[in-house]
Structure 1
Amino acid sequence: MKSTSLLDSVAIRGQFPSLKRKHNSLPVTYLDGPGGTQVPESVIQAMVNYYRESNANTHGSFHSAIETDQTIQAMRVQMAAYLNAEGPENISIGQNMTTLNFYLARALSRVFKPGDEVLITQLDHEANRGPWLTLRDFGIKVREIALKKDGTLDYDDFQNKINENTRLVAMGMSSNCIGTVNNFKLARELTYKYNSWLLLDAVHYAPHFAIDVQEIGCDFLLCSAYKFYGPHVGLLYSKSGLLDRLPTDRLRTAGQVAPESIETGTLNHAAIAGVKAAVEFIASLGAGNTTREKIVTAFNTISEHEFGLASYMYKELKGIKGVHLVGQDFSSKQRTPTVSFTMEGKTPLQVCDHLATKNICAWDGHFYAIRAMESLGLLEKGGVTRLGISLYNTREEMDLTLETISAIH
C-alpha cells in the first residue's frame, strides 16, 4: 500500500543525488537521519559555487570578500526566519552545537556564583549535559531531572528541583535516542517563575517541526544544520541583548558584540552558503508570501508525512515476535519520527549488521544519550536500534525494513 502523503516523494527524492546511488546493485534506504540527513543538490551547488566564485576571507574591499560578508549575513537572515528569531543579529555560527554549548557554558561560569544551580535532564544528548557538568568545578550545583521508564521526563521531579537558586535549565526539545518530545512550554513557565534562563537543544527537533523561539520564549536555542539537510555547522540563537551580557572567550580583534562575540576564528564560509540553501530548500516545500510562512507550511506537510511513516513502522514492529519498542507510542503527536527498539537474542549492532545486508542504513548504540540508556537499563545491552524517518523516506522503504527485520533469526 502506498502512502497518501501530501509530499511529492518522487520530486523530492529527485533533488537528493545520494538517493540515486546503488550499492552492490541494490538501492540504499537511509534511515540514519537522526545522525545526519542526506543533502539536496541545491545545497551541494551552493557550497561549490561559493568556492568557484566567492572564496575569500571577510571584511575586504574586493568583490569576493564583500560577497562572503553577504553570504554570512544572508544565512543569518534565513536562519532567523527558520527559528522566527527577532533578527539576524540573534544567530551565531559555530563549528558544531557541542562547541557552541561549551563556549556558552564557559561564559556562564563567569556569571554564575557558587551556590547557584543548573538543571539538566537524564534524557539529553551529552552535548547538552557535559558542558554544564563542567560548572561543578566553579562551585555551581548541577541537578538532573529524572527520566521515567516510559521514556518521558518526570515533570514532578522537575517542579521539585527547580528553585530560587536555579539560574539555568538546559533541556532538549526532543530525544535523539527515543523520539520523546519534551514539555518545553512547562519548562518556560517554570523558568519564568524562578527568573531562570532556558536553553533548548533543538538538534533533533529542528528537522521535523517549525520552531518559533519568540513564542516559546527561550533564552538560548542550539541546532545543527546537518540534521536538516545542510552541512556541518552549529547554530546558536540568543535572545536580544543576552549574549552581549556574557564574557565570552574572544580575541581582541574579533567581533565584540552579538552575534560575533561567541564566534571564534574564521568560519566555514562554504558551509554557511550551504546552510542558507538548506533553509531555502525546506521553504521551497511550503507556500506563502514570506520565507517564514513557507517554512511553517512546509513543516506542516513534512511532519504529516514523517509521522505517518513512523507510526506505521511502530505499529508493524509491535507485531514482530521478539521486538521490544522503546519510548512512547504514536497515539500523541508529541513525538518525533524516530523509532527505537531492541530484539530478543540479538544485539542492536547485530540487527544493524543484518539491515546493512539490504543496504538499509540504521544506527545502533546510545547515540551519546548515555545517561538515558543507563536510566532505561539498556546501556549494558548495547543500547537500541534506531530507525529515523526523514522527508525523503517512503512507504516502500518502511515495508522493506519491516520485511528485513522479520527475517532476522
Structure 2
Amino acid sequence: MNQPFPFASIRSQFPALTQQMNDLPVIFLDNPGGTQTPAAVIAAMSDYLAHDNANRGGPFATSQRSDAIIEEAHAAVADLLHATSPDEIIFGPNMTTLTFSISRALGRDWGPGDEIIVTRLDHDANITPWVMMAADRGVTVRWADFNPDDCTLDMEGLHGLLNERTRLLAVGYASNATGTINDVATLTRWAHEVGALIFVDAVQCAPHGPLDVQALGCDLLACSAYKFFGPHLGILYGRYDLLDRLTAYKVRPAKNKPPHKFETGTQNHEGIAGALAAVNYLAQLGQADAGSSGSRRQQLQAGMEAIQRYDQVLNAAILTEMEGLPGVTVHGITDPDRLHWRVPTVSFTVAGQHPAAIAAALAERGIFVWHGNYYALAVTERLGLEEQGGMVRVGAVHYNTLDEIARLGAALRQILHAPTH
C-alpha cells in the first residue's frame, strides 16, 4: 500500500510544502518537533481574529461566537480522543504546562510513604513535573528502565516497581526519541490493579493513529495540537470524576467544574479555533471510508486508521534507507516484524560524526531534521549519547512521500560517501 491517500490533494492543503531550496522542494522530516498546518487551520485562526475575537461569557455576538467555537473545539477533541464528554478535555499553553499543573493538583493528596513511577524512555515533560512534585511532597520516585538494544520499555522491571504504595505511573505512549510504542493498555491494567493512576504522554503518538482513552482505560492523557497539524496548544484529557474531585490552582471567580477550573486565565482562543480545524481536517481524511454521513468520531477513526497503515510503509522505507550506511546505528526497533510497535520517528548516530553536522548537511540539501536530545534527556543519558551531542532524528507523517524518503537516503549516502543502492 504505497498510495493510501490522494497525495496531490493532501499536500496541496499545506502551504509550507511548496517551499523550495536549490530548485528542489523542501522536505519536512522535523515533524516530531511539530508538524506543518493545512490551510484550513490557518484560515480558522485568521477568521477568528478577524471576526470573532472576544472574551467569553458576554451577551454580545462576538463573545457568543467565541463561546460556541470553544465549546465545539472541546467536543471535537473529545471525538479525537474518544472521551465520554467534552468536559473531560482541557486546553492550555502546551503539554508541559498542563502536566506541571495537574501534577500539583494530584500531589496535594500525597506525601511521605507514597510512590510514583517515571520511565527513562520519556520526554522530560513527563518526568520533571512529577519529580519536582515528589520533592515538594516527600514522595518517593521509582525509575523504570528501557532496553538499550531496541529502546523498548523494560515491562517486567516496571511491573516489579508497582505496589500498594504506588500512586501514579507516568508513561509515554510513543517515544519522541526512538519511536517506540508502549503497551499502554497493559500498563494501565497493572497500575489499576494496585490502585494507582496512570498519566499518558500521547504527544508523539497523536498524529500517527487512533487514540481511544476509553479502550486504554487511562486516567489522564496529554497531547499537543501542533503535533497533529494544528497550532501551538496543549491538550489534557482526564476522567471527569477525577478532575471533578481535584483542587485546581485557579483564581476565585473562575468556575469550579471541569474543564473550566483547570483552564486558567484567558485561553488562546484563536489557537483553540485552529485545533478544531485540525481535528476536522483529520476527520476529512476518513470520509471516504466512514462516509460523509458518518459521525465525526467515525470519520476520525477511519482517517487515523488509514494514517496508521501508511505509517508502516514509511517506517519500512526509512529503515531500508538506513541499512548499510557506514557507521550508522539506529536506536530503536528495526526488526521488520515488529514495526507495529513503533511510529516513523527514527533516531540514529554516525560513528565519528557529530549529530549537529549531519543535521546541518541535510539542511543544506533542503531536508529538515532534528538533532540533540529533543528534551528526551533520560534517553540520551541512558544510551550514553548525551555528551556526544545526542542523535539525529528523522520523523515522517502522512503528508510525506516515499520519494522524499528516497531523497533522504540519497542525501545520507552522499554525506557519508556511501555507494548508491
Amino acid across the alignment from 1:356? A
Name the counterpart of 1:295: 300
Structure 2 gaps, min length 5 = 417-421
Hey, what's the Cα distance between the residues in 1 that align with 2:414 and 2:22?
20
Hey, what's the Cα distance between the residues in 2 that align with 1:331 and 1:314?
13
Name the counterpart of 1:9: 7
Preserved contact between residue 198 and residue 219 of structure 2 (Cα < 8 Å) = yes
1:23 deviation in Å? 3.1
Hey, what's the Cα distance between the residues in 1 that align with 2:315 and 2:2?
14
Preserved contact between residue 89 and residue 259 of structure 1 (Cα < 8 Å) = yes
1:241 deviation in Å? 1.2
Where in structure 1 do 4 or more consecutive aligned residues deviate above 4 Å?
none
Name the counterpart of 2:411: 404
Preserved contact between residue 2 and residue 313 of structure 2 (Cα < 8 Å) = no
SS at match of 2:118: strand
Question: TM-score when scaled to structure 1?
Answer: 0.98
Alignment of 1:136 onto 2:135:
yes
Name the counterpart of 2:183: 183
Amino acid across the alignment from 1:181? I
Hey, what's the Cα distance between the residues in 2 that align with 1:296 and 1:278?
14
Hey, what's the Cα distance between the residues in 2 that align with 1:316 and 1:25?
23
Hey, what's the Cα distance between the residues in 2 that align with 1:397 and 1:27?
9
Preserved contact between residue 170 and residue 200 of structure 2 (Cα < 8 Å) = yes
Hey, what's the Cα distance between the residues in 1 that align with 2:313 and 2:22?
30
Name the counterpart of 1:327: 332
Name the counterpart of 2:89: 91
Alignment of 1:379 onto 2:386:
yes
1:310 deviation in Å? 2.2
Amino acid across the alignment from 1:133? V
Alignment of 1:314 onto 2:313:
no
Preserved contact between residue 169 and residue 199 of structure 1 (Cα < 8 Å) = yes
Name the counterpart of 2:343: 336
SS at match of 2:208: coil
Name the counterpart of 1:21: 19
Hey, what's the Cα distance between the residues in 2 that align with 1:249 and 1:352?
41
Structure 1 gaps, min length 5 = none
Alignment of 1:350 onto 2:348:
no
Alignment of 1:147 onto 2:154:
no
Preserved contact between residue 321 and residue 406 of structure 2 (Cα < 8 Å) = no
Preserved contact between residue 146 and residue 153 of structure 1 (Cα < 8 Å) = yes
Preserved contact between residue 244 and residue 261 of structure 1 (Cα < 8 Å) = no
Mapping of 1:202-241 within 5 angstroms? 202-241=202-241
Deviations 1:64-104 (A, max 9, x none): 00000011100000000000000101001100000000001
Hey, what's the Cα distance between the residues in 2 that align with 1:368 and 1:280?
30
1:345 deviation in Å? 2.1
Preserved contact between residue 111 and residue 246 of structure 1 (Cα < 8 Å) = no
Hey, what's the Cα distance between the residues in 2 that align with 1:215 and 1:241?
17
SS at match of 2:325: coil
Structure 2 residue corresponding to 1:72, chosen from 49, 70, 73: 70
Hey, what's the Cα distance between the residues in 2 that align with 1:346 and 1:370?
20
SS at match of 1:267: coil
Hey, what's the Cα distance between the residues in 1 that align with 2:286 and 2:330?
33
Hey, what's the Cα distance between the residues in 1 that align with 2:55 and 2:89?
20
Name the counterpart of 1:273: 273
Preserved contact between residue 77 and residue 87 of structure 1 (Cα < 8 Å) = yes
1:347 deviation in Å? 1.0
Preserved contact between residue 52 and residue 62 of structure 2 (Cα < 8 Å) = yes
Name the counterpart of 1:56: 54
Hey, what's the Cα distance between the residues in 2 that align with 1:85 and 1:53?
30
Name the counterpart of 2:419: none
Hey, what's the Cα distance between the residues in 1 that align with 2:324 and 2:301?
35
Preserved contact between residue 21 and residue 365 of structure 2 (Cα < 8 Å) = no
Amino acid across the alignment from 2:152? T
Name the counterpart of 2:159: 159
Hey, what's the Cα distance between the residues in 1 that align with 2:107 and 2:211?
28
**What count of residue pairs does the alignment treat as equivalent?**
407
Hey, what's the Cα distance between the residues in 2 that align with 1:365 and 1:22?
25
